[in-house]
């Protein structure tokens, strides 16, 4: 099974080498999408052995979309996403890949809610936001997720068929909603989570939290009212 890892990174010079270094050797290619960083993220990622792409349009989803466009030239069987701040534990990647390898799932989300969290690694606003978003996904689509965690694996053909489009913080929830609506076999596995290295950009800041919360709720609302033909018309 060919696996390609996509890491969106905005000013993660101090952590990116650790993230890449802890990815299991069996992984075929690690792609860091440098999202207009002003530090040494790009040099450090390359030095650690990653393929480095540049996406000048800021936004978590923009960086992920750039990674997907590159993956289309590689056609891996599975794509794994994770953050560049060393909060996720890259050495736990097999936890995500095993259900896909066994043919039991198409999409696997790493849950920090059922996994081991270092105290303070997820701030209260992130915990509450996750709970609300997952509750809404259960009400609207019967989805049984406990987290919107960034560490996740998906069959590449299924990912392309989802037609992902969010360019910012709605990315993770969009993927989960679309996966459930598309009838993919979704699974969750516990993953560990530690305090990030470097400067917090989303949940650690007031504006980041406000923007992310608004975008996540907006994304849920948008798909809750979207009739299926609209979804089929996408991309």
Residues found near ligand GTP in the complex (CB under 6 A):
8-10, 12, 35, 58-60, 63, 83-85, 87, 196, 200-204
Where is 169: in which H helix or E strand? none
Residues whose CB is less than 8 angstroms from the CB of residue 67 and which lie 6 or more positions away in sequence, other chains included: 6, 7, 8, 31, 33, 53, 79, 81
Number of residues this chain uses to bind Mg ion (CB under 5 A): 3
Q: Choose from Mg ion, ligand GTP, none: what does 58 bind? Cβ within 5-8 Å by kind.
A: ligand GTP
Q: Choose from ligand GTP, Mg ion, none: what does 107 bind? Cβ within 5-8 Å by kind.
A: none
Contact call for residue 85 and Mg ion (CB under 5 A): yes
Using CA atoms, how far apart are residues 85 and 115, in angstroms rounded to an integer?
Answer: 18
DSSP state letter for 219: H
Q: Which stretch binds Mg ion (CB under 5 A): 28-36, 43-51, 87-95, 226-234?
A: 87-95
Count the neighbouring beta carbons within 10 Å of the beta carbon of residue 212: 24
Q: Choose from Mg ion, ligand GTP, none: what does 151 bind? Cβ within 5-8 Å by kind.
A: none
Q: Which stretch binds Mg ion (CB under 5 A): 45-53, 102-110, 191-199, 209-217?
A: 191-199
DSSP state letter for 196: P
Q: Choose from ligand GTP, Mg ion, none: what does 201 bind? Cβ within 5-8 Å by kind.
A: ligand GTP
Closer residue to ligand GTP, CB minimum distance, 94 or 118: 118
Specify whether the CB–CB gap between 5 and 71 falls below 8 A: no
CB of 225 to ligand GTP, least distance (A): 27
Q: Choose from Mg ion, ligand GTP, none: what does 152 bind? Cβ within 5-8 Å by kind.
A: none
CB of 89 to ligand GTP, least distance (A): 14
Closest CA to 16 of 28, 24, 8: 8
Contact call for residue 130 and Mg ion (CB under 5 A): no
CB of 231 to Mg ion, least distance (A): 29
Handedness of CA 142, 98, 45, 40 (dihedral sign): positive
Using CA atoms, how far apart are residues 81 and 110, in angstroms rounded to an integer?
Answer: 10
Residues whose CB is less than 8 angstroms from the CB of residue 134 and which lie 6 or more positions away in sequence, other chains included: 143, 145, 146, 147, 148
Q: Choose which of 34, 44, 87, 167 interacts with Mg ion (CB under 5 A).
A: 87
Q: Which residues bind Mg ion (CB under 5 A)?
A: 85, 87, 196
């Amino acid at each position: 099974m060919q696996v390609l890892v996509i890491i969106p990174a905005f000013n993660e010079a101090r952590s990116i080498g650790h993230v890449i270094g802890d990815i299991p050797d069996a992984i075929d290619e690690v792609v860091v999408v440098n999202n207009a960083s002003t530090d040494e993220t790009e040099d450090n990622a390359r030095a650690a052995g990653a393929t480095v792409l540049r996406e000048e349009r800021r936004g978590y989803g923009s960086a992920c979309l750039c990674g997907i466009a590159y993956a289309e030239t590689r056609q891996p069987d599975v794509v794994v996403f994770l953050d560049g701040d060393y909060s996720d534990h890259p050495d736990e990647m097999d936890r995500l890949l095993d259900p896909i390898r066994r043919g039991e799932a198409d999409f696997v989300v790493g849950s920090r809610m059922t996994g081991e969290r270092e105290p303070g690694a997820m701030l209260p606003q992130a915990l509450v936001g996750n709970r609300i978003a997952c509750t809404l996904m259960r009400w609207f689509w019967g989805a049984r997720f406990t987290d919107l965690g960034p560490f996740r694996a998906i069959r590449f053909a299924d990912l392309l068929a989802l037609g992902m489009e969010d360019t910012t913080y709605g990315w993770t929830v969009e993927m989960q909603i679309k996966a459930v609506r598309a009838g993919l076999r979704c699974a969750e596995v516990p993953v560990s989570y530690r305090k990030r290295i470097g400067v917090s950009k989303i949940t650690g800041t007031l504006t980041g939290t406000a923007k992310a919360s608004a975008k996540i709720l907006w994304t849920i609302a948008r798909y809750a009212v979207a009739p299926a033909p609209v979804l089929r018309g996408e991309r």
